[in-house]
Amino acid sequence: MRKKLMGYVGFANFPNQVHRKSVKTGFQFTCMVVGESGLGKSTLVNTLFNTQIYPNKQPAEPTHDCPQTVEIQSITTDIEENGVRLRMTVVDTPGFGDFVNNEESWKPILDNIESRFDAYLEQENRVNRRKMVDNRIHACLYFITPTGHALKPLDVEFMRRLHTRVNLIPVIAKADTLTEEEVVAFKQRILADIKHHNIQIYQAPAYEYDDEETIAENREVMSKIPFAIVGSDKEFEVEGGRRVRGRRYPWGVIQVDNEEHCDFVKLRQMLIRTHMEELKEFTNDVLYENYRTEKLSAMGIQQDPSVFKEVNPVQKMEEERLAHEQKLAKMETEMRSVFHAKVQEKEHKLKQSEEELYARHKEMKEALDKQRIELEEKRRRLEAGRPMTPEKSKKKGFSFNK
């Protein structure tokens, strides 16, 4: 039940407090770009932030010892707009889809995304969790080659492998190479393929408190996925003397920032203006949380779904340590009592053999005494019955031969 206040309390100022704190600490966002080389990834990133996040690329020298694996490169830039700071990290994946055999191209990318989750999990397990660094990938722009046909097996494989780990945002690269009708048909084919393969691409949630305008705006943005984009860092003069960013063709200029020409504006709106926090939240609450649960249950630690967020791995480890200590203590008492019983048994045996020895000794002593008495008796009897020696008879006054 919602209660009405009788007067002004002040918590209506919460949003301002959050705003001030956010402005002070700044924002941070990590975006990954994946797609074959030459599809315009770096150009798009530079166009999105209207700054040279990517240094000008030199065309690659033809070389025979080309790399055999997908690399992961990240560039971090601090950008500021009206006093609000954004630390933007772009993670590029050069080499993806560029080899003769691209079967496992997705693997180093998935490993990289998961290792970022691991690093975050490790920080959560630390005692001091005040300075958490969030290097998780919050969004992944997947560049689709503008073939006009359908998704390639490599596209399907990549999205199927990655969709539970990252917010996938598919984009049609270099959309200016397709006609308007081709773009519409291509989008339909891509969405049908995505549905067919049960791939989950990013969907912005709708909230009950959203006003009509926000709902309509969200619907409009989402209806443009996969965004057909055109990137350019060059400016041209168009009718009326205006300078616009775009790509010049013999028949005119395709304008990057013109919604009639491409979906660049909608992509930027979603990624930066309206859904950056949503993307971060979904990464943390759903993608990372699922990964964490899978990882912990693989380690044999069960999570009770009712205390989904509350189960703390540190607490879990502490409980395990206690259980282990209790087990050790129990084993120690058991061993102690076994030892005690053995000692008692030995003592008892020793006592018994001592008594036996004593009894035997006594018996022998008695037998010896008896033997001695008998011998003495015998001697006495012998002495009594034997004739006396001459000296003895002399002493007694007897004389022979007289």
Please tell me whether residue 401 adopts helix, strand or coil conformation. coil
Stretch that binds ligand GDP, among 157-165, 173-181, 210-218, 309-317 (CB under 6 A): 173-181
Q: Which two tokens stand for residue 126?
A: 């630390």
What sign results for the dihedral spanned by CA atoms 146, 152, 155, 160? positive
The C-alpha atoms of residue 390 and residue 243 are separated, in whole angstroms, by: 166
- Measured distance CA(354)–CA(276) in Å, rounded: 89
Residue 38 within binding range of ligand GDP, rule CB under 6 A: yes
Is the Cβ of residue 170 or residue 231 nearer to ligand GDP in the bound state?
231
- Least distance (Å) between residue 177 CB and ligand GDP: 6
Binding-residue pattern over the window 246 to 265 for ligand GDP, x denoting contact by CB under 6 A: -x------------------
Q: Which stretch binds ligand GDP (CB under 6 A): 35-43, 80-88, 197-205, 307-315?
A: 35-43
3-state DSSP call for residue 299?
coil
The number of residues that bind ligand GDP (CB under 6 A) is 14
The answer to whether the Cα torsion of 348, 350, 354, 357 is positive or negative is: positive
CB of 113 to ligand GDP, least distance (A): 19
Supply the DSSP string of 8-54, one letter for each residue: --SGGGHHHHHHHHHHHH-EEEEEEEES-TTSSHHHHHHHHHTS-SS
* Options 112, 177, 269, 284; binder of ligand GDP; rule CB under 6 A: 177
Nearer to ligand GDP, 56 or 306 (CB): 56
Can you read off the two tokens belonging to residue 161? 């492998």
Contacts with 308 (C-beta within 8 Å, 6 or more apart), sequence order: 289
Residue number of the CB closest to ligand GDP reads 40
Q: Of the candidates 155, 176, 263, 278, which one interacts with ligand GDP according to CB under 6 A?
A: 176
Kindly tell me the sign of the dihedral angle through the C-alpha atoms of 284, 194, 104, 40. Answer: negative
Residue range at the interface with ligand GDP (CB under 6 A); choices 24-32, 36-44, 149-157, 388-396: 36-44
DSSP-derived 3-state class of residue 394: helix
Nearer of residues 187 and 292 to ligand GDP, judged by Cβ: 187
Spatial distance between the Cα atoms of 159 and 150, rounded to a whole number of angstroms: 14
Say how many Å lie between the first and final Cα of the chain, rounded: 156
| Whether 233 contacts 226, CB under 8 Å | no
**Sites for ligand GDP among residues 85-104 (CB under 6 A):** none
Q: Contact at 8 Å (CB) between 56 and 42?
A: no
Q: Considering only CA atoms, which of 148, 131, 158 is closest in space to residue 32?
A: 158
According to DSSP, the β-strands at 27-34 and 84-92 are: parallel
Question: Would you say 40 or 170 has its CB closer to ligand GDP?
Answer: 40
d(CA 241, CA 346) in angstroms, rounded, equals 110
The contact pattern for ligand GDP, residues 227-246, with x = CB under 6 A and - = no contact, is ---xx---------------
Q: Which of 41, 138, 187, 268 binds ligand GDP (CB under 6 A)?
A: 41
Segment near ligand GDP (CB under 6 A); pick from 33-41, 291-299, 345-353, 391-399:
33-41
Rule CB under 6 A: is residue 37 a binding residue for ligand GDP? yes
Mark residues 49-68: x for contact with ligand GDP by CB under 6 A, - for none.
--------x-----------
User: Is the torsion defined by CA of 115, 118, 123, 127 positive or negative?
Assistant: negative
Q: With contacts defined by CB under 6 A, name the span among 31-39, 124-132, 201-209, 338-346 that binds ligand GDP.
A: 31-39
As measured in angstroms, the least distance from the Cβ of 121 to ligand GDP is: 31
Contact residue for ligand GDP among 39, 159, 166, 271 (CB under 6 A): 39
Residue 40 in the binding site for ligand GDP (CB under 6 A): yes
Site string for ligand GDP, 364-393 (x = CB under 6 A): ------------------------------
Binding site for ligand GDP (CB under 6 A): 37-43, 57, 174, 176-177, 230-231, 247
